Copies of this chain bind each other. A is one copy, B any other.
Amino acid sequence: MKSCGVIVEYNPFHNGHQYHLEMAHEASQADVVVAVMSGNFLQRGEPAILDKWTRAKEAIENGADLVIELPVASAVQSADYFAKGAVRVLHELGVSSLCFGTDSEEELDYDQFARFNEENQNEINETFQSLNHLGLSYPQQMNEVYRLLLPDWPVSNQSPNHILGMSYAKENQKYAKPMSLFPIKRQVSNYHDKELNGTKFASATAIREAVLADKFEDLADVIPVETLNDLKGNDPIDWEKAWPFLKYQLMVNSEEELRSIYQMVEGIEYRLKEMVLKANSFEEFVTLVKTKRFTWTRIQRLCVYVLLQLTEAEVTQSWEQPYLRILGFNKVGQVFMKQQRKMVSSPVISNLKKEHQKIAELDIRAGLVYELITGKNNKQDFYRIPHIKK
């Protein structure tokens, strides 16, 4: 079976995602499309608007054949680590191609870019070091490196999908048998667009804004019916709903305790503890904490680590004991999984039980906290079985 992977968050699943799945089939000529999806917390450091089971179901009902959860220790990460975790899952499953969206105006040859990275690692590192004095954030500094080393290549576009695309390409290049890459142009909407625009495509950001403002009227045009029903039937989750718990945790953790949290560096713990007493909302809190080096997204991710009390040791350990958690599949996905399962070296979990407690510890914790934030009895892990399309 010819397979193609997609790396996704579906926050929530919309027509653009459906188009992406169609393009993945078409461009790669694959029989099966495998989606590696973030669980209940997302790459940019926020809780998902709907839980992972709901989002996986939406995907399976609208073109994905198999959905695998990207563990929280890889999902809530900057582009390179996010890519590392997701690409590993696809390689473990023997997926032969990768299709991803890009917002790049000009065409970048991602494979060529990945090879350049592999062959010039030292020069890249040295150039990066030489820019340390500028006090830039990591993505800004990396962008500056590429602008200097590859002045004629379209590498310095700062759109999130483009940055992720470059990370996927670099990570993929590290494997003996890299996947074929199929970048596809996004349709119409831009990643950060905040308005619905009257077409059948809208950004997830615009969709979330409409949902939070309780404006469901125009959403039917831009999301599948499953997503519309899910959004109508569930309280949408955002950081403000988790804010009381984050605030509480920052109040009771001493600076010393906060220093044991993953990525708590450069004394930012003092700033977090100072500002939590001044902020009346999560948005206000991040605005107060934000600096040139600590971007909005970096702070959001740090807040997820605090909320889940993730330590450096726990995150590292999670990377070292990967597992594949199946969230949903259709008949094609089932056949593919059955065929590939024997070559997968990590444990495959389709019904999480007590015996998986250790390996899935951080994801179980993330699920418990997510359930608590929803305020409903909505078990996320033990004894939940994948969504199966009839």
Q: Evaluate contact between A372 and B309: CB separation under 8 angstroms.
A: no
Q: Is the interface of A mostly helix, strand, loop or mixed?
A: helix
Closest 8 pairs (CB-CB, A-B): A252-B309, A251-B368, A245-B248, A248-B372, A252-B308, A252-B365, A251-B369, A252-B369
Bound-complex Cα distance A252 to B252 (A):
13
Supply 4 further A-B pairs (C-beta < 8 A) apart from A244-B372, A252-B307, A253-B309.
A244-B244, A245-B245, A247-B372, A277-B368
B residues in contact with A252, CB < 8 Å: 249, 307-309, 365, 368-369
- Which A residues are closer than 8 A to B by beta carbons? 244-245, 247-249, 251-253, 257, 277, 307-309, 365, 368-369, 372
Minimum Cβ distance to chain B for residue A306 (Å): 9
Which of B251, B365, B369 contacts A365 (CB under 8 A)? B251
Q: Evaluate contact between A309 and B369: CB separation under 8 angstroms.
A: no
Bound-complex Cα distance A253 to B314 (A):
12
B residues in contact with A253, CB < 8 Å: 309
Most buried by B among A251, A307, A309, A368: A251
B residues in contact with A308, CB < 8 Å: 252
B residues in contact with A248, CB < 8 Å: 245, 248-249, 369, 372
Bound-complex Cα distance A372 to B308 (A):
19
Bound-complex Cα distance A252 to B304 (A):
12
